[in-house]
């Protein structure tokens, strides 16, 4: 039985003060909640403040990005060692916005995962197709390519997969529960073929306009193990409803 995982990706939102206010409001709303793992991924500038406030609460901290070297002359980048120092235990890697706006390839994603796992951080690996790719019936082809490139010569331990159809991210459009489960089933079979029994223990999250209103129907699907939440995670009450909705799995 895979424990549901709900992760908040705040993207480029919230100052340090706003982060602190969110956490102080959010924690009482989920007090006593069990049966679900919770992750918050604030911007780099708020990681340390968030780490202090969620210490000993069970909520875990993630970074939204990372560089693939541990140190050196890489102006503006943040290493896995630095993330560990702030209290992170997870890193989101390969988000479609990183691929689209910053030209991250599967090869770069692979290098990041290698360095992150070497340093003991867990990974949320994002994959997903564009609207044109779905309309051209290339969803599975895209997922196969991204999985193959991103996970080349990498063990599955410490890896969570997030299926995020690009056409559903921040658009208000959401894959139907059936569409999500179909993609997750393909991913599960792909992992099983490559890794064997550990694939059944790997969590596969859905991301793409997840809200308190649709989380129940998504979580009802057998292969949906949680959600990577964007806009709906920016308000404490909204994110808390998604978290508690996931406990019904």
User: What amino acid positions are annotated as catalytic residues?
Assistant: 95, 164
- H/E element holding 205? strand 204-207
CA distance 147 to 190: 8
Cβ 180 vs Cβ 216: under 8 Å: no
- Interacting residues of 102 by C-beta distance below 8 A, sequence separation 6+: none
Determine the Cα–Cα distance for residues 37 and 30; give it in Å rounded to an integer.
11
Q: Which residue has the tokens 């393909």?
A: 186
Cα–Cα distance measured from residue 170 to residue 122, given in angstroms and rounded to the nearest whole number: 25
Q: Is 34 helix (H, G, I), strand (E, B) or coil?
A: coil
| Beta-carbon count within 10 A of 76 CB | 5
CB 220 within 8 A of CB 212: no
The strand pairing partners of 204, in sequence order, are 161
């Amino acid at each position: 039985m895979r424990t549901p995982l709900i992760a908040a990706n705040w993207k480029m939102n919230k100052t340090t003060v706003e982060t602190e206010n969110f956490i102080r409001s959010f924690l009482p709303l989920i007090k006593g909640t069990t049966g679900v793992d919770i992750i918050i991924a604030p911007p780099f500038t708020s990681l340390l403040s968030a780490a202090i406030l969620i210490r000993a609460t069970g909520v875990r901290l993630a970074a939204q990005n990372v560089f693939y070297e541990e140190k050196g002359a890489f102006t503006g980048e943040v290493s896995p060692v630095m993330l560990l120092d702030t209290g992170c235990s997870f890193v989101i890697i390969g988000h479609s916005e990183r691929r689209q706006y910053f030209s991250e390839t599967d090869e770069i994603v692979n290098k990041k995962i290698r360095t992150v796992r070497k340093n003991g951080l867990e990974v949320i690996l994002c994959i997903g197709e564009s609207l044109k790719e779905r309309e051209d019936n290339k969803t599975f082809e895209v997922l196969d390519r991204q999985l193959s490139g991103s996970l080349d010569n990498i063990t599955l331990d410490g890896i969570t997969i997030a299926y995020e159809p690009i056409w559903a991210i921040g658009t208000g459009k959401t894959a139907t529960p059936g569409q999500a489960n179909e993609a997750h089933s393909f991913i599960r079979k792909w992992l099983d073929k490559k890794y064997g029994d550990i694939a059944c223990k790997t969590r596969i999250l859905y991301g793409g306009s997840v809200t308190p209103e649709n989380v129940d129907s998504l979580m009802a699907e057998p292969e949906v193990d949680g959600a990577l939440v964007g806009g709906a995670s920016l308000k404490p009450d909204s994110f808390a409803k998604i978290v508690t909705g996931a406990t019904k799995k």
